[in-house]
Amino acid sequence: MLVRFVEGRPVSPETTAFLGWVCERLKAEGKKALLLIWDNASWHLSQEVQAWLRQHNRQAKRTGEVRILVCRLPLKSPWLNRIEPQGVHAKRAVAEPDRILTKAELIERICAYLNCQYIEPLHQIIAQKIM
**Residue 88's pLDDT band (boundaries 50, 70, 90)?**
confident
pLDDT over threshold 70, residue 20: yes
Percent of the chain predicted with pLDDT > 70:
84
Domain ranges of the chain: 6-123
Class in CATH terms, 6-123: alpha beta
Which of 37-41, 60-64, 91-95 reaches the highest mean pLDDT?
60-64
DSSP string across the chain: -----EES---HHHHHHHHHHHHHHHHHTT--EEEEEE---HHHH-HHHHHHHHHHHHHHHHHT--EEEEEEPPTT-GGG-THHHHHHHHHHHH--SSSPPPHHHHHHHHHHHHT----PPEEPP------
